[in-house]
Amino acid sequence: MSLQVGNVRIDADELAARLGRAFAGELMDVAVQEPDTVVARLAREKVKDVARRLHDLDETPIDSLTLISSVDYVTHLECVYHLYSYAANLYVELHVELPRGRPVVATVSDVWPSADWHEREAWDMMGIVFEGHPDPRRILLKDDWIGHPLRKDYVDDVRNHPYV
């Protein structure tokens, strides 16, 4: 494994095919969304296992996590992991669907350390619980904030605003 960016010369179609083979039955709807981005869906029970194996892939390790975004689709929540492989110079997007009632998913901060703050932000703003997170505090709002403001059904609590 070399640190040189893009030294494994494959395109997104090839990476999608490889991921589809290596993670058959785990990554669903593997597709190429943009010339450099592979998109896939993933069941939330398999996040931990798949993350570790993606990170430890032989030729094209998906070794960087750029961002974790969270989306409220009203019917359900979704967690999107934006990953990047330095070796292949390609991006991978993992969409993980979460039920609104109990949005719990395993942490990947032990696989990609950069996930730490992103998961705290997703908890803070969207209320997604990351099981096994080393430091599950709020990151942007104050610690005693009530509610998760980026949820579509968020109702502001007057106790959040002592200065009126």
Partner 1 sequence: MALTDEVKRYLPDGIAARLKYPKLADFERPNVITTTADLVFNWARSHSVFPFQYGLACCAIEMLSSGFARYDIARYGMEVFRPTPRQCDLMIVAGTVNEKMAPVLLRLYEQMAEPKWVISMGACATSGGPFYDGYNVVNGVDKVVPVDVYIPGCPPRPEALFDGMLQLQRKIQQLTFARPEKVEPLYGADAPWHADVIGPQAQFGGRVSKKRLTP
Question: What residues contact residue 13 under an 8 Å CB cut-off, 6+ apart?
Answer: 32
Q: Between residues 67 and 145, which has the closer beta carbon with respect to partner 1? A: 145
Q: Least distance from C-beta 157 to partner 1, angstroms?
A: 10
How far is 56 from 149, CA to CA, in rounded Å? 36
Residue 8, sorted as left (phi over 0), alpha (psi -120 to 50) or beta, turns out to be beta
Choice between 9 and 142, CB closer to partner 1: 142
Neighbouring C-beta atoms of residue 14, cutoff 10 Å: 16
In angstroms, what is the minimal distance from the CB of 87 to partner 1? 40
We find the least distance from the C-beta atom of residue 139 to partner 1, in angstroms, to be: 10
Nearer to partner 1, 33 or 160 (CB): 160
CA pair distance 39, 19, nearest whole angstrom: 10
Closest distance to partner 1 from the beta carbon of 148 (Å): 10
Q: Which CB atom, from 76 or from 159, has the smaller least distance to partner 1?
A: 159
- Pairing relation of β-strands 90-99 and 37-42? parallel
Q: Give least dist CB 85 to partner 1, A.
A: 36
| Closer by beta carbon to partner 1, 131 or else 135 | 135
Q: What is the binding site for partner 1 (CB under 8 A)?
A: 140-142, 145, 149, 154, 156, 160-164
Sign of the alpha-carbon torsion through 164, 126, 36, 56: positive
